[in-house]
Amino acid sequence: MEPVAIYFLGTAGSGKTSLTHAFQRWMQQKGLDCIAVNLDPGADKLPFTADYDIREWLDLRKVMEEYNLGPNGAQIACADLLALKANEIHEILDSFRAPYILIDTPGQLELFSFRKSSRVVVEALSGERSALAFLLDPSVAKVPSGYVSQLMLAATVQFRFSLPMMNVLSKTDMLDEKELETIAGWAEDPHRLQAAMEDEMRTPQMVFNMEMFRALESLGTFRNFIPASAETGTGIEDIYTGIQNHFHGGEDLSKD
C-alpha cells in the first residue's frame, strides 16, 4: 500500500515544526513506522530527526548568495527548484517503505500554498495519498476576527490543493481553560461566533463582514478543529485517528 503523507501547514509561528516532532515521537512510542521530512530550506534548526532534509542540497542562504536575492525572492526560487527535483525526492522517500510520511512545510505559508510549484511537489511526492493538517495559531484565534481570518486562510489552502484537511488548534497549552472553551464554542456554534464578531467589530464595515461571514458559513468553512499541543501531546492521537478513518477505514496500522 502506498504511504500516506501528512503535510503540516500554517502561518509562521503556528507550531508546524514542533507538532511534526511531537507526531514523530508519538508514532515511535506506539511502535508505528513513519519518516519525517523537512521541506523548509530556511529552517535554522530542527527539534526532530529528519529522515530527509531539503537543506542537504537546497539551503536558503546559499540561494540568496548565488542568485543575489533577498529572503523572499530566495524562498520563491527555492520553491521552484524544489519542484524540479520532486520526482527524485519521491524516489528517495519511497525507498524508506514507511506507511506514514510527516512533512514539515516552509514557515511562509503563502509560498508553499499559493504557488503552482508546490502543487507539483505534493502531486509528485504523494498525490491523492495526502492529507493536510492546517494549524490555527492560538494567539490569533483568541479573538473572533482572528479566528475567522484563519478559517478563511484554511479554506483557501484546501481550495488550492483539493485534499482532505483537518484544522488543528495548535499550542493549546498557551491557552487557559476559559479561552479554549470560548474558541471551541465558536467552532460548535457559528451563531455564537457571529454574535462575538458583532460585539468586536462595531464599525461601518461590519455589514460587509457579516455578509462575508454568512457566505463562509454556507461553504462549510466553520468546521470543528482538533485541540493539540506539542508540549503535552494533546490531540496527536486524534489527528492520527482522523487520518486512519479517511485512508484506512479506521483500521489501525499497529500489530496489536
Q: Residue 176 is part of a domain; what is its CATH number?
A: 3.40.50.300
pLDDT at 179 over 60: yes
> Grid coordinates in use for 17?
515544526
The residues near 99 (Cβ < 8 Å, ≥ 6 apart) are 1, 3, 4, 32, 33, 34, 253
DSSP state of 106: P
**In which domain, by residue range, is 16 found?**
4-190+224-248
Give domain status of residue 218, yes or no: no
- 191/173 Cα distance (integer angstroms): 27
3-state secondary structure of 120: helix
Give domain status of residue 209, yes or no: no
Domain count, the chain: 1
Predicted confidence at residue 198, as pLDDT, reads 81
Give domain status of residue 62, yes or no: yes
Write the DSSP assignment of 4-43 as a string of letters: EEEEEEESTTSSHHHHHHHHHHHHHHTT---EEEE--TT-
Predicted confidence at residue 256, as pLDDT, reads 46
Give domain status of residue 176, yes or no: yes
Task: Convert the pLDDT of each residue in 41-93 to its tens digit.
Answer: 999 889 999 999 999 999 999 999 999 999 889 989 999 999 999 999 999 99
Task: Convert the pLDDT of each residue in 114-136 to its tens digit.
Answer: 888 999 999 999 999 999 999 99
pLDDT at 189 over 50: yes
* Most confident of the following: 41-50, 97-106, 207-216: 97-106
Q: What percent of the chain is modeled with pLDDT above 70?
A: 94
Tell me how far the alpha carbon of residue 15 is from its chain's centroid. Answer: 9
| pTM: predicted TM-score of the whole model, two decimal places | 0.92
Tell me how far the alpha carbon of residue 121 is from its chain's centroid. Answer: 15
> Grid coordinates in use for 95?
525507498
pLDDT at 223 over 90: no
Least confident of 54-58, 102-106, 203-207, 234-238: 203-207
DSSP state of 59: -
